[in-house]
């Protein structure tokens, strides 16, 4: 089979049948504002409850005057009559699920304003066509209307530059996925993230994205390491922003792969703002945050009735490796848990700041280190010995402070790993 894509203005169309299959075809026609008459002996699908149709068995005379006829009856007698009538009345025939009798096929269609993308398997596998259509849906920007209008105006210029037109078109179809990859454990990667990987042309990957997750990125994808570690940045945030914009304006599908949950101290706001300023469409895919995964794997429950009624998630780290201690007073709040990210290297400073505030030195605290890795460990103690606790583990580590960390409140599970009490 060879397919010629043609745009049809509405033809006088007849749909025979009112069951589930007929409803699928009627929905497609309705979505395209393609008027059609319906003949059926009985209604077998609720979609037709509010539609006007002729309730009768198909007769030869019913085919007269129609340019397109869709047979969704599954009735071999009706199909045989239509095949015999076709040379007499010169209509196009589609017999659902019988490709060899079809003059045309329904495509899995994606529509963005005036742009239509039709995927056809020649009738052999509508399911495959739909799967491919769904992938195209994820890639295409939602709003192409303004781009189409711009290209239309450019095309009407007396001396139009085809290379320039192509460049404008490429810039308008780029897209960025801002993807949270969790703590690195493949089992915590969301299905949305995994599905997005399959669409990527280029991936900008952080240091905290594990090798196991990197291995899931398709080989056809260009992987760019943009790791940012304390004391070493392979790329500044400004350079990363420029890469996102640059690749997207080449018409590529770009993935920004971040450790943890990008909404929490992941520079997501800056990247979203940059993309918005350049008119680039983006999607955000959440990841499993180390803030809560640390609680899961350590057996710590951050909210327990009568022990902790709220949680604050803070960072001990500011830009340029500066120490942030503005959150320290939150520890004073009764029945409250404070989860501190990027705290390990500041353990002594945090300990001193807590002491300076006169906060109870016996307030329970825990470092949860190497979350979901074989060498995962939880160090449980108090805020008075945070520096000693930090010395017993390594980064990345999450600090949890509050009565929920008290030994009697920790309930270990199968994935809790090693727990050391000081």
Active site residues: 206, 228
Helix (H, G, I), strand (E, B) or coil at 223: strand
Gap between the Cα atoms of 365 and 351, Å rounded: 11
Q: Which residue has the tokens 């203005």?
A: 9
Q: Which residue has the tokens 């192409």?
A: 144
CA dihedral 100, 102, 106, 107 (to 10 degrees): 50
Cis peptide before 354 (omega within 30 of 0): no
Gap between the Cα atoms of 93 and 82, Å rounded: 8
Gap between the Cα atoms of 56 and 410, Å rounded: 71
Gap between the Cα atoms of 277 and 358, Å rounded: 46
Element (H, E) at 111: strand 108-112
In Å, how far are 196, 228, 317, 322, 368 from 209, measured between CA atoms?
15, 11, 20, 24, 18
């Amino acid at each position: 089979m060879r397919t010629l894509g043609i745009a049809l203005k509405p033809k006088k169309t007849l749909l025979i049948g009112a069951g589930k299959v007929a409803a699928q075809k009627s929905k497609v026609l309705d979505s395209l504002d393609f008027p059609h008459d319906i003949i059926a002996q009985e209604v077998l699908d609720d979609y037709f409850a509010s539609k006007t149709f002729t309730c009768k068995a198909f007769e030869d005379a019913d085919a007269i005057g129609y340019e397109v006829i869709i047979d969704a009856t599954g009735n071999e007698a009706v199909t045989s009559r239509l095949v015999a009538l076709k040379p007499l009345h010169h209509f196009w025939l589609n017999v659902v699920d019988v490709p060899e009798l079809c003059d045309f096929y329904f495509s899995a269609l994606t529509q963005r304003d005036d742009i239509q993308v039709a995927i056809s398997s020649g009738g052999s596998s509508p399911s495959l066509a739909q799967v491919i259509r769904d992938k195209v849906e994820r890639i295409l920007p939602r709003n192409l209307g303004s781009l189409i209008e711009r290209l239309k105006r450019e095309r009407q210029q007396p001396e139009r530059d085809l290379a320039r037109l192509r460049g404008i078109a490429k810039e308008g179809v780029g897209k960025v996925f801002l993807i949270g990859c969790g703590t690195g454990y493949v089992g915590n990667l969301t299905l949305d993230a995994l599905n997005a990987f399959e669409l990527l042309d280029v991936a900008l990957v952080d240091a905290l994205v594990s090798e196991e997750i990197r291995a899931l990125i398709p080989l056809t994808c260009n992987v760019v390491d943009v790791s940012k570690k304390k004391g070493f940045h392979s790329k500044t945030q400004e350079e990363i922003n420029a890469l996102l914009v640059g690749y997207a304006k080449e018409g590529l599908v770009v993935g920004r792969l971040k450790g943890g949950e990008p909404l929490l101290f992941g520079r997501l706001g800056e990247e979203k703002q940059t993309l918005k300023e350049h008119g680039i469409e983006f999607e955000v895919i959440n990841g499993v945050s180390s803030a809560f995964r640390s609680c899961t794997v350590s057996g710590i429950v951050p909210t327990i009735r009568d022990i902790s009624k709220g949680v604050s998630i803070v960072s001990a780290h500011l830009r340029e490796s500066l120490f942030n201690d503005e959150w320290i007073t939150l520890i004073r709040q009764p029945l409250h848990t404070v989860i501190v990210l990027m705290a390990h290297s500041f353990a002594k400073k945090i300990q001193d700041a807590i002491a300076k505030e006169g906060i109870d030195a016996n307030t329970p605290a825990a470092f949860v280190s190497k979350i979901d890795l074989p060498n995962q460990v939880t160090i449980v103690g108090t805020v008075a010995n945070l520096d000693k606790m930090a010395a017993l583990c390594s980064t990345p580590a999450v600090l949890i402070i509050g009565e929920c960390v008290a030994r009697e409140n920790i309930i270990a599970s199968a994935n809790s790993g090693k727990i050391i009490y000081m």
